[in-house]
Structure 1
């Protein structure tokens, strides 16, 4: 799984920005989709919302419960489940959120329909995603290019970073608007980030591990060089700049 908490430690400001943009009010029913270790769910709960966090990975939910306890909270409903088949009745929530989570659903159209389905009439949907032209997706492209498992990608998470694609996926939403931001990650060099990623980023760890098993160290070196080339363009003053997109709409 990798060290998701370490990799996600720069997400809390995005969670706060998202919660503010959906104009969350105390006691509103909130669903955090693909909640990870709970950064957005906890942010919403601290604003007084009644929060449910759902994720496919039990280990992440366990970590989310620990984070909730550290925050001094105890009311969040943590639930195992899939964005493509949300275990809730129609129009259950006032707000549905996702911070870089739902974008990895294999069936994007179904994920979009499910998030809208569980949203009340007049409710707000808000999420963050990675634009396909910026750093996160460039790194994803490098990794996918040398994927030793031969997996075909019929979807790209970066599609959720395109306003035009979001409008097509979510035609039911009104008053849809977008806002951009940048996560800045301190590091001494692009190679420092590569080293950190190969020890903590689950998907990259899986790819590198398989290439080592196949004794394809030449391919690993190609991955490293292209990964570093992508990073170099976004490295300034000992910071890596990951641009993101926020989308907010009303049902």
Structure 2
């Protein structure tokens, strides 16, 4: 038991480290339409109590606040919460309750919120079953849930398969964030939900070439920075070149008219 607990703690500390690296304001600049679509589909109303789980730099929390909701934005990474507060000021709004917290142990009473949201955040909780139970637990009876995730068969999932081939760090299929992108698995991860609806949409990112996106990713994504740093320590230029070639080869399949198409899954549910 101690060994299991130490591995879980270690993985959470690793998550904090990774999300403290990189430039997530830059990486997230194409995500606001996702937040808008999610709040629209969940039917968000003014004055509703909203929890944004793993809120990151605050794009969905701020979107919900603009709609008049009473919003709590929670994330495990202090650096991202600090960035979220800056984004709130830039948006000329206030009133969002920013909290540091763990998706696997939400610091709220049962049935607290009218709406629970998460845009590609909850998917990184190591214990997915526990995170799913917690999300449902804090939702009021009749409350709505809106989350987004990456299907394994689309662009982000396929790029992740390439990264896994070269990733020098141990990983577990059981903790794969792409489990949240498979509808049958999502249903199992959300016990107590009585209505559930799925929809797909696409993020379109302007790119000049596959290599431009590769360079942007390895310098601004915390996880890719960590992977590349470790690979460079191995002093194996052939492996890094092969990694880049495999990554950009997959990218080419999803680029059309200088736009990278990142398909994602939207889950809307009612407790």
SS of residue in 2 equivalent to 1:37: coil
What is the correspondence of 1:119-198 to structure 2 with a 5 Å cutoff? 119-198=139-218
Whole-angstrom distance in 2 between the partners of 1:111 and 1:129 = 14
User: Aligned-pair distance for 1:213?
Assistant: 1.1
Q: How many pairs does the alignment contain?
A: 251
Q: Partner residue of 2:225?
A: 205
Aligned mate of 1:214, from 218, 221, 234: 234
Q: 1:18-167 residue pairs with structure 2 within 5 A?
A: 18-167=38-187
**Secondary structure at 2:106's aligned position in 1?**
coil
- CA deviations on 1:189-227 (whole Å, 9 max, x unpaired) are 111100111110110110011110121222211211111
- Determine if contact 2:132/2:191 at 8 Å carries over to the other structure: no
> Which residue in the other structure is 1:247 paired with?
267
Distance apart, 1:153 and its partner CA? 4.2
1:139-161 Cα distance to aligned partner (Å, 9 max, x none): 11111221112344432111111
Q: Which runs of 5+ in 2 are unaligned?
A: 1-20
Per-residue deviation, residues 51-76 of structure 1 (Å, max 9, x unmatched): 00000110100000000011111100
Structure 1: which 5+ residue stretches go unaligned? Answer: none
Compute the displacement of 1:185 (Å): 0.4
Residues in 1 aligned to 2:96 and 2:131: alpha-carbon distance in whole angstroms: 22
Q: Deviations over 1:30-71 (max 9, x none)?
A: 000000000000000000000000001101000000000111
Q: Distance in 2 between matches of 1:153 and 1:3?
A: 27
Q: Is contact 2:180–2:186 with CA below 8 Å preserved after alignment? A: yes
Runs of 4+ with deviation above 2 angstroms? 149-154
Q: TM-score, normalised by structure 1?
A: 0.98
Higher helix share: 2
CA distance, structure 2, for counterparts of residue 40 and residue 162 of structure 1: 22
| Distance in structure 2 (CA, Å) of the matches to 1:129 and 1:151 | 19
Partners of 1:233 and 1:28 in 2: how far apart?
Answer: 41
Cα distance in 2 for residues equivalent to 1:97 and 1:149: 30
Shift of 1:12: 0.4
